[in-house]
Amino acid sequence: MSVLVGSRHDEGVGRLVDSYRAIPAGERVRLAKRTSNLFRARDHSATPGLDTSGLTGVVAVDAGSRTADVQGMCTYEALVDATLPHGLTPLVVPQLRTITLGGAVTGLGIESASWRNGLPHESVLEMDVLTGSGEVVTTDPASRHPDLFRAFPNSYGTLGYATRLRIALEPVGRTVALRHVRFHDVGSLVEALRVTLADAGFDGEPVDYVDGVVFSASESYLVLGRRGDDPGATSDYTGTRIYYRSIQHDDRAPRRDLLTTHDYLWRWDTDWFWCSRAFGAQDPRVRRLWPRRWLRSSVYGRLVALDRRLGVADRLEALHGRPPRERVVQDVELPLATMAEFLRWFLREVPIEPVWLCPLRLRSDQPWTLYPLRPGETYVNVGFWSSVPSTPGAGDGATNRRIEREVAELGGHKSLYSESFYDRAEFDRLYAGTAYAALKERWDPAARLPTLYDKAVRGA
């Protein structure tokens, strides 16, 4: 067993609990965080926040049992750095380096292993949670507060915060071999995805990782990865070369590529998928001058936060006589059976490209309380992150509201890390409002934490 910050873990929990007790009764409790991977307006008026400074590391890695004990504010970057030397990774590693394990579990996360490993919370074996009542409790799926365990995913810190999580790990090799398979229509891509997931392979070759990119109605790709120890040179997309552009090719024969496992896990982080183009970072002239250490999602995230505070983009639009643009930053899950219909609608109605695709299935045969994915069903996450022209007179979030309606009509649902526009009744219907109210009463009886509706829709 590799012990990292184990001896200091209790001290970190103690500081967290002390900071909770220092917040006067009646004041809202929240984390004191300088960074976030949430993309919705938030109320920062409540001070001070909880001290999580001692909860940012890996407690221990047990290579024999393929498990790790991890503090709640540990980033996946630090977690992978601790597990990869043992030839292990978390079952699902979300795309961005600074996503924390506690954040991915309470706020959901997804990646190209999710079609076989589910979502990050499904690799959790047990966890310690600071509840809204100020008590740290240990919970697991069987005997210790299983109601909290199964409701913690998608609760976004409204029932409590994870201080320690024990998670399962899986073995990996040195490399990931990729095939980029092109399709000229959405229907063909969906059918190929269905067969690939059913066979765990494509054209006779095994598949471990699956995601995809839609550039237009006539150009889309599945990206199929295989774990291994393949010899030969590996590609580097951490400098001048841009990963998502490497996917594109002219014919239907798969284009092949080879990445180290480390670089595969962070292939999307360097350019924040493709969102770095908004900052000019994909212009070759800018790219040569942009420090390599700044080619990462956390830097772009800080630039977005700065723009929101200063309103730079809106001012530029006003200088050109245009209204402010509507931000459309969403991830939605559609059943595989309705994904093609949604994509055709989206490509026709919403001027955003590219679009990311990532299939998922629950590992568990039981549903999770606050996020209604059905066991045994195959879903596809569709991610789109940009802005669109505002429609005069259409009201706040007009395009986002249309997307919410279309997703609901097609049997899907959306992640809550970004803006949501549901009314209270619809929100409660979609996210188990009755069950949530009972859980809130038990684990946060004094309402020290915001409710899920207040946090997701009202920006509390």
Phi-psi map region of 397: left, alpha, beta (phi>0 left; psi -120 to 50 alpha):
left
Distance CA 261, CA 63 (A): 18
pTM for the predicted model, two decimal places: 0.94
Q: Which residues contact 160 (CB under 8 A, 6 or more apart)?
A: 129, 130, 131, 132, 148, 152, 443, 444, 449
Q: Is 80 in a helix, a strand, or coil?
A: helix
E strands in 267-351? 326-335
Domain 2-172+448-456 falls in which CATH fold?
Answer: 3.30.465
Q: Is 414 in a helix, a strand, or coil?
A: strand
pLDDT of residue 335: 98
pLDDT of residue 180: 97
pLDDT of residue 317: 67
pLDDT of residue 267: 98
Per-residue pLDDT of the chain (460 residues; tens, 9 = 90+): 777 777 799 999 999 999 999 999 888 888 866 555 555 455 555 457 899 999 999 999 999 999 999 999 999 999 999 999 999 999 999 999 999 999 999 998 999 999 999 999 999 999 999 999 999 999 999 999 999 999 999 999 999 999 999 999 999 999 999 999 999 999 999 999 999 999 999 999 999 999 999 999 999 999 999 999 999 999 999 999 999 999 999 886 789 999 999 999 999 999 999 999 999 999 999 999 999 999 999 999 898 888 778 776 777 767 777 778 899 999 999 999 999 999 999 999 999 999 999 999 999 888 899 998 999 999 999 999 999 988 777 778 999 999 999 999 999 999 999 899 999 999 999 999 999 999 999 999 999 999 999 999 998 7
Residue-range domain boundaries for the chain: 2-172+448-456, 175-267
Domain 175-267 falls in which CATH fold?
Answer: Alpha-Beta Plaits (3.30.70)
**Residue in 348, 127, 407 with CA at minimum distance from that of residue 217:** 348
- In this structure, what token pair is assigned to residue 144? 């210790």
Distance CA 334, CA 380 (A): 5
Distance CA 102, CA 116 (A): 21
Distance CA 61, CA 80 (A): 11
pLDDT of residue 45: 53
Query: DSSP 3-state helix, strand, coil percentages of the chain (rounded to 5)?
Result: 35, 25, 40
pLDDT of residue 36: 58
Q: Which residues contact 109 (CB under 8 A, 6 or more apart)?
A: 92, 94, 99, 103, 119, 120
